[in-house]
Amino acid sequence: MKCIYCGNEKLYLLKSAQFKCSKCKKKFSAKKIKTDLELIECFCEDLTANEASKKLSINYVTAKKRYELFRQLIANFLEEEYKNKEVIEYDEYIYLEKSKKKVKENIFDAQNFLTFHYENKIYNLLMPNLNRYKGQFLDDGSDEIYFKEFSKFMMFNKISKTKKRENLITQFWLFFEDAILKYKGISEENFFYYLKEIEFKFNYSKKKQTDILKKLMIKYITNLS
């Protein structure tokens, strides 16, 4: 085992079961590091936090909190990756859970994002949610007009997507629609992080995902010390 902070191979085992580096003098728990690495493997294998907790025989809350941290680290990483990149093409996507599509008022819950293609990768920009305007449209009686125009847009969007030549953007949308199904009831404030998780998994192989996430976690732990 090497020091997670400086890579030094000379470590001391303390009575607390922690390791202390002989070079940088920092301490760390091998057990916690092992759990984090195993959770990263589960995350990149598309196991849910519940599935990971059962597989590793750890507390569900522990797995859930780590998964939330992984998504935050990934979101920051993807933002940095996209900086100053040249965009090849982009398009707009509107997502609404299948269970909500039957009730017209639920269109205000739709998530709208722009998908950009750059360097054979995908980047998504989440647009403001329309839910904030729901009360205004219902109060001033313009809801029927809005529903009709929105429905026309949804139909046009659907047709344009099916007729459009297959490209990286449309490939991502299909990947997204399939991947998002395993998550039930994603809150509006958390949708961004799930979108970024799916973007990350679309852009990189599972091996690359694991390597990147391990480095991000080591950096995160190092910064905490």
Domain residue limits, the chain? 85-182
SS (H, E, C) 198-221: HHHHHHCCHHHHHHHHHHHHHHHH
pLDDT per residue as tens, the chain (225 positions): 787 778 788 888 888 778 888 888 888 777 888 899 999 999 999 999 999 999 999 999 999 999 999 999 999 999 999 999 999 999 888 888 777 766 666 677 788 899 999 999 999 999 887 666 556 555 565 556 556 656 555 544 544 454 456 789 999 999 999 999 888 778 888 999 999 999 999 999 999 999 999 999 988 887 776
